[in-house]
Amino acid sequence: MYVCMCYGVTDSQIREAVNTQGVGNLRELRAHLNVGSQCGKCIQMAQQVIDTTIIDDSLFKEVS
Ligand code: FES
């Protein structure tokens, strides 16, 4: 699913950036993928994807 239409960034690209590049917030995500630096409409959704990816990760780590 596309999160940022201006730059054609998908939720899986954001998740990958969080998991492999250590992106932990919107500022870092912008530095990697430009998300939110044009119209800004995607910022809330992008933040949600970052948050849920980090939460999912921490849940997974507790289980294993
Ligand atoms: S949709 Fe992301 S900057 Fe416009």
Summarize the confidence of residues 32-46 as an average pLDDT.
97
pTM exceeds 0.85: yes
The pLDDT, as a whole number, for residue 62 is: 61
Architecture of domain 2-63: Orthogonal Bundle (1.10)
The separation between CA 64 and the C-alpha centre of its own chain, rounded to angstroms, equals: 24
Ligand 1 atom with the smallest distance to the CA of 38 is 3
Q: Which residues line the pocket of ligand 1, CB cutoff 6 A?
A: 4-6, 35-42
Share of the chain above pLDDT 90, in %: 84
Residue-level pLDDT at 63 = 55
User: CA-to-CA distance for 16 and 50, rounded, in angstroms?
Assistant: 10
Phi, psi of 24 (to 5 degrees): -125, -5
14 has a pLDDT exceeding 80: yes
Q: What is the pLDDT of residue 10?
A: 98
